[in-house]
Amino acid sequence: MSDLLTVTGLHVDYPGVRAVHDVSFTLRRGEILGLVGESGSGKSSVCAALTRVLPAGARMAARAVRLGDQELTGLTDQEMRRLRATRIGVIPQRPMTSLSPVTPVLRQLRWHASDADLPDLLARTGLRAVLDRPRDYPHRFSGGQLQRLLILIAALARQPDLLIADEPTTTLDPTVQAQVLRLILDLRDRLGLGILYVTHDLAVVAQVCDRVGVMYGGRLVETGSVEQIFASPRHPYTQALLSALPGRAPTGSRLGRLTPGPVARQGCPFAPRCPVAMDVCAEQDPQPVLDVRCHHTEDSP
Ligand SMILES: Nc1ncnc2c1ncn2[C@@H]1O[C@H](COP(=O)(O)OP(=O)(O)OP(=O)(O)O)[C@@H](O)[C@H]1O
Ligand code: SF4
Ligand SMILES: [Mg+2]
């Protein structure tokens, strides 16, 4: 698989808050990379920085962000807007707030896909009924239907290379969540998309992701294949996360939100909670070595 997105040294700051610090990763074509971590670890800030939709007052910097053979760091806001409309699709967390409430759903779909394409696109997503309800507004559809409509708009109508999904199933019940996950897997297989998939739920990671990146305190502390991360996590935070799984059997088990804990402002951010912290951990932020960011693996990779 060839590399689709390469992020090197990404930083995001809000006034007084260092939200993302020196994050680097690669996403390959046809791959789903899960981004996990507790609330506030910086997952949404990574997504917002990649699509340049950070709120006013936020600042981002990166050594490089490459999408295919295009370098994105030097692009103007207008060029980035064009890219978001073509090569990058975004699936938002709350479908209700992402569609216009005052325009019928079918008309909104026509903004993105031609009448010739629509029946086939809707059939693929199990949404043919939308054609029979041309006057229905978003509030007449269920959360799951709306989420699938947004995925349709993001992925099928525009045919992007990269899809960024920030907790797309958090507000859905388990049955509808399963439908949306199946659709995302289908899109990956059918279109060969690269998908960056943010979630709190390790069961979802086990179901849909090929690789996973674990964030803590704005750092990407470990990256690996889903098999490797679940079978032999190397970073102490990843180990703690997985040891909390009931029976260490993630598939099918629904976990709650990962409970946030203290983050050190100096040295390794996990030091206040780390069972194997050393003196150096309070002083120096470890550098990533072989996809793990921990002083222990620096010494013995
Ligand atoms: N608009 C903002 N202004 C100031 N600080 C912000 C803003 N958005 C996020 N932050 C802070 O940046 C850090 C990272 O937040 P972010 O939303 O990226 O985390 P997250 O991993 O997506 O969390 P969650 O799982 O709750 O969605 C947090 O400390 C958060 O409080
Ligand atoms: S660097 Fe130190 S505190 Fe941080 S995870 Fe590794 S051992 Fe623990
Ligand atoms: Mg978030």
Find the CATH number of the domain harbouring 72. 3.40.50.300
Q: Please, is 68 exposed, middle or buried when counting C-beta atoms within 10 Å of its C-beta (0-12, 13-18, 19+)? A: middle
Q: Does some domain include residue 212? A: yes
- The answer as to whether 270 is a domain residue is no
Pick from 71, 69, 91: nearest CA to 158: 91
Query: How far is 198 from 257, CA to CA, in rounded Å?
Result: 13
**Same domain as 146, residue 105:** yes
Residue 209 shares a structural domain with residue 175? yes
Query: How many domains are contained in the chain?
Result: 2
| Confidence grade of residue 300 (pLDDT, cut at 50, 70, 90) | low
Do 103 and 178 fall within a single domain? no
Do 20 and 75 reside in the same domain of the chain? Answer: yes
Average pLDDT over residues 117-126: 84
* Cα-to-centroid distance, 266 and ligand 2 (Å): 12
On whether residue 171 sits in a domain, the answer given is yes
pLDDT band at 43 (very low <50, low <70, confident <90, very high): very high
pLDDT surpassing 80 at residue 150: yes
Q: Ligand 3 centroid to 44 CA: how many Å?
A: 4
Question: Domain range spanning residue 206?
Answer: 3-87+161-255
Q: Are 171 and 74 found together in one domain?
A: yes
Q: 228 φ, ψ to 5°?
A: -65, -45
Are residues 146 and 170 both part of a single domain?
A: no
pTM over 0.85: yes
Q: Give the highest mean pLDDT range of 50-64, 134-148, 171-185, 244-258.
A: 50-64
- Mean pLDDT check: name the lowest of 61-70, 120-129, 134-143, 213-222: 120-129
pLDDT score at 278: 96
Position 249 scores a pLDDT of 45
Q: Would the pLDDT of 190 be above 90?
A: no
Mutate to test the pocket of ligand 1, among 10, 13, 23, 44 (most ligand atoms within 8 A of CB): 44
64 belongs to a structural domain:
yes
- State mean pLDDT over 166-193: 84
pLDDT, mean over the chain? 88
Task: Determine whether the shortest distance from the Cβ of 271 to ligand 2 is under 6 A.
Answer: yes
Quick one: 138 and 248 in the same domain?
A: no
